[in-house]
Structure 1
Amino acid sequence: MKLSAVLTQGLWKENPTLRMMLGMCPVLAVSTSATNAIGMGVATLAVLVASNFTIALVKDAIPAQVRIPAYVLMIASLVTAVDMAMAAWFFELHQTLGLFIPLIVVNCIILGRAEGFAAKNTAFASIVDGLGMGLGFTLSITTLGCCRELLGNGSIFGIPLLGDAFKPMLLMVLPPGAFLMLGLLAATMRRVDMALEARARTVAEGRRQRALDLATGGAPIPMPPGFE
């Protein structure tokens, strides 16, 4: 697979949040605001890239029987480093996200890419895969956080946008609102896919018809006897 395809599949075709519905615990829990969402997304992105790279480098040295515990140990070490970095440089965000940063260790996106891609590919390709999947996760959770914050508080990144006349929808900052908005975003992505597929079919049919017209000189194709 080309590296460009590896990078883009996590953004759309195999988006871990809106396609495969992986890592739902942090997605639903911390996406009450855009700031929290992007913080969780960037932390997960960093762990994804680092874990993919590390596992791709040492995969041949790990016995198959203990590969999963070894992967979890490496991922836990990387998550600890990210957790300490956030505590040092983004203390308020670290306090807000709380336990969800350490829980990245058991995020099935991380282990899934380690087992499904990094353990079978080169280090560079694994970095690209981690970057694509991480960006897909970050964009998805940030979009969800922006939508929930806008409808629930009338703001994005704490900046009021809808004025004093807007009545916040409390549901959007509660767990049911997270499920509702996630479903709407997933349905929107699927609707875009259907529109693109329909357009591709129309274009292909037009090309086929033009090729047929050129081949027959625009004349109708004679039918065999009995098929008129």
Structure 2
Amino acid sequence: MNVLLNNLDVFLPAFGRTILLFLLAAVGSLILGTFLAMLRVSPVPIFRAAGAVYVTVARNTPLTLVFFFFFFAFPLLDIVDRELYSPFAVAITALTLYTAAFVCEVVRSGINTVAVGQLEASRALGLTFGQSLTNIVLPQATRSVVPPLMSTMIALLKNTTIAAGFSVVEAGAIRNYLSERGEDALIGLLWVAFFFVLLVVPLTLLQRSLEKRWSVAR
């Protein structure tokens, strides 16, 4: 307990930044991932191809390389003002773009569980593809994607620790601070693992609650 109590000024801000990093990246990846899933099932071939290329590249690229690109290569393009290029914003961007590819595949698999006849019936009623997808297909697909989507979000939460290697102060950087203070780094890592478990538990409980509420007899 001494390692924790004597270093609350390290643990609390670090985990606060971890939670904020997770929430912002989660929202961004859910929005982008759903949009990519819509591209993947679009009747327009070029949209399907664009979505497939993005997902293939992102899923097969290590997250560390994504961080390296946005921290060291992307600034050289001078697309974004250097003053706005903070490590925290870069970490959010890297995590969002990477996780969105996995969210896309989860949502796409859920869309594929909806009977094709429902989409055809909605199109016969005069609805556009976008209207059919957002009003008919996606609400039903959501029920099927809760478990894998929560697993993706849990993976995102754990992936936030990679940001510690790129000057972002969050839970992954706690060990370095403890080492500088002469504290037992192993005990510190055990506390970090414990707090990550506490963060994962609410996500698991939310998953189970939604599964019970949206369970569908198949």
Bin of the TM-score, shorter chain as denominator length: 0.3 to 0.5
TM-score, with normalisation over the residues of structure 2?
A: 0.35
Q: Larger helix proportion, structure 1 or 2?
A: 2
State the TM-score, normalized to the length of structure 1: 0.34
